Chains A and B, each alone.
Chain A
Amino acid sequence: MALQSLDIVRRSATTTAPPGVREAYTGTVAKLIDTTKCIGCKACQVACMEWNDLRDEIGSNVGVYDNPGDLSGESWTVMRFTEYENPKGDLEWLIRKDGCMHCADPGCLKACPAPGAIVQYSNGIVDFHEENCIGCGYCITGCPFDIPRISKRDHKAYKCTLCSDRVAVGLEPACIKACPTGALVFGTKEDMQQHAAERVEDLKSRGFERAGLYDPPGVGGTHVMYVLHHADQPQLYAGLAADPHISSLVGLWKGASKPIALAAMAFTALAGFFHFVRVGRNEIDERDEAAARQALEAAPPHNAPPGPGAPPILNSPHNPNPDKRP
């Protein structure tokens, strides 16, 4: 199904290029989360569970409205509530729907060592294919937003799919459809940027001077964007990354370390070859045999004599004490 409706543009741990003739000429898709319209009802969380057939364990109250307290293999989106006292002394209740951002340059995909466990479609969706997942958790390290989670049930990584199965047949994601306040909107990325611009203009006229769109360029832009009242301080929204970048560890692991490791392996093989040519094998000569016999005879009496089938003790190739050699 995927191969006809959603063309794969990138595939984890794969060096061969996927078919690349078809492109998303009519635009990529995006989800816009307007935090200024969100009332924190969690209909999106429920719709996500319902559509994706997920039922997380019933947890306990974590002291705030966040429920569940964090993302998990069975909870792909959670509302994060922040109480913020602004400089005027007023309380602002900042509510952010957290989940996969569907980065244009996905750190999870770059960090993933399992071929085909993470793919990126031409429409912008970054999807996990759990049948290929080995459960290593590198995607969590690679994610600048700390989104993927390893399920405790099957030890595979899960996250929001942007309802790729709905989008594949032309529908909007389940969370978008449910949202009763219209805080969640779905469409082409261009349309979402335009919608966000209108929202930002409106917010600025209402006194939110710093309102803006969150579409971080550090990860090539995202296919899940936020409208924030305080776009200059995204970290106010439960620690939303101000300038997200893929960890340099991922670059090191998937970039520089690969040729270095290859070079080290080649050098080892080459060194072995030259050692063989120049020095040759370790061979046991008469002197070694003699030394071994001597050592056997000189062995203390509490050492049981070796059985008839046991090989003779030869300590010469790695003789720890070469001075003993006769």
Chain B
Amino acid sequence: MADVTRREFLKVTSATLAGSSLALLGYSPTSAIAEVREFKLARATETRNTCPYCAVACGVLMYSLGDRSKNARASIFHIEGDPDHPVNRGTLCPKGAALIDFIHSPSRLTHPEYRAPGSDRWQPISWDDALDRVAKLMKQDRDANFVAKTPEGLTVNRWLTTGMLAASASSNEVGYLTHKVIRSLGILSFDNQARV
């Protein structure tokens, strides 16, 4: 035990007495009140969408910051199943339940990229450039390879050198339009991710 002088002893005891007296008089910090976590979706904006993963195309509800007023910048912070969607009625698989991390993933692709033939790297390009390039190449290929009639004289109007793979997360209307556009170009190799 260290040497304690009379003065030190008195100092410590009087400080303790003063401290405990103050605490008893109600000058102590109040303890935090126990309560459940606040419900985080109360006034968040709810937006319906379709899960982008598989062909089941479950309905999801996306909750974003703010009420869509002019100055509030929306950002999705929670996603759960849509109970009114006939496919999943609110349920989701582990991938669908984890969609929030897919949205905020640092490796998520947010703009078109182009890799030149022979190049070893991707370079970001604008949507306009990307769509122009796709349209140009499609026209080139169609002009070169479109078959209006077979050698036997049978009218086929087909374009076999280009294919189209559509996404599964589409509504009936989007599916109808996609089908019409692709078939009217003469494309036969047409598949949908819904087959996986």
* Chain A interface (Cβ < 8 Å from any Cβ of B): 1-3, 5-6, 8, 11, 41-43, 45-47, 49-51, 115-116, 119, 127, 129, 131-132, 161, 164-166, 168-169, 174, 177-180, 182
Q: A165, B40: Cβ atoms under 8 Å?
A: yes
Check B32 against A132 for contact (C-beta < 8 Å).
yes
**Docked-complex contact A116 and B80, CB < 8 angstroms:** no
State whether A1 and B35 are in contact (beta carbons under 8 Å apart), knowing that A41-B94, A42-B94, A178-B91 are contacts in the complex.
Answer: yes
> B25 near A: Cβ within 8 Å?
no
Task: Give the distance in Å from the alpha carbon of A174 to the alpha carbon of B39 in the complex.
Answer: 12
- A47 CA to B90 CA in the complex, in Å? 12
> CB-CB contacts of B56-86 with A at 8 A, as 1s and 0s?
0000000000000000000000111101000
B94 near A2: Cβ-Cβ < 8 Å: no
For the complex, is B92 an interface residue (Cβ under 8 Å from A)?
Answer: yes
- CB-based contact A177/B80 at 8 Å: yes
Q: Which of B35, B40, B78 contacts A2, CB < 8 Å?
A: B35
Q: Which of B1-47 contact A (CB under 8 A)?
A: 31-32, 34-40, 42
CB pair B37 A164 closer than 8 Å: yes
Q: A164-B36, A180-B88 are in contact. Are A132 and B93 (CB under 8 A)?
A: no
Report B-chain residues with C-beta under 8 Å of the C-beta of A119: 34
Contact with A along B90-127 (1 / 0, CB 8 A): 11111011101100000000000000000000000000
A145 to B17, CA, bound (A): 45
Q: Which residue of the partner chain, among B35, B42, B90, B98, contacts A50 with CB atoms under 8 Å?
A: B98
Is there contact, CB below 8 Å, between B34 and A46? no
- The one of A41, A165, A179 that contacts B37, using a Cβ cutoff of 8 Å: A165
Chain A's closest residue to B79 (CB) is: A50
Which size class do B's interface residues fall under? 20 to 34
B39 touches A129 (CB 8 A): no
Known contacts A119-B34, A131-B34, A132-B31, A51 near B78 by CB under 8 Å: yes
- B35 pairs with A177, CB closer than 8 A: no
Complex: how many Å from CA A46 to CA B100? 11
Asked whether A161 and B36 contact (CB < 8 A) given A46-B97, A46-B98, A50-B100, the answer is yes
6 chain-A/chain-B pairs, Cβ below 8 angstroms: A8-B34, A50-B101, A116-B34, A129-B34, A177-B81, A178-B91
Q: Which of B35, B96, B97 has the most CB of A within 10 A?
A: B97
Contact yes or no, A47 B36, CB < 8 A = no
Q: Is the CB of A41 within 8 A of B93?
A: yes
B97 to chain A, nearest CB (A): 4
Q: Which listed residue (A1, A164, A178) contacts B81, Cβ 8 A?
A: A178
* Chain B residues positioned under 8 Å from A127 (CB to CB): 36
* A169-B39 contact in complex given A177-B80, A178-B81, C-beta closer than 8 Å: yes
Which residues of chain B have C-beta atoms less than 8 A from A169's C-beta?
A: 39, 42
Residue of B nearest to A1 (CB): B35
- Which 5 residue pairs are nearest across A and B when measured between Cβ atoms? A2-B35, A129-B34, A46-B97, A165-B37, A164-B36
Q: Which residues of A contact B39 (CB under 8 A)?
A: 1, 165-166, 168-169
- Of all chain B residues, the one with the shortest Cβ separation from A55 is B101
CB closest chain-A residue, reference B99: A50
**A6: which B residues are within 8 A, CB to CB?**
36
Given A47-B97, A116-B31, A165-B36, 13 more A-B residue pairs with CB atoms under 8 Å apart are A5-B36, A43-B96, A46-B94, A116-B34, A129-B35, A132-B31, A165-B40, A168-B39, A169-B42, A174-B80, A177-B90, A177-B91, A178-B91
User: Which B residues lie within 8 Å of A161 (CB)?
Assistant: 36-37
Q: What residues on B are CB-neighbors of A180 within 8 Å?
A: 88, 91-93
With a cutoff of 8 Å between Cβ atoms, the chain A residues found around residue B94 in the complex are: 41-43, 45-46
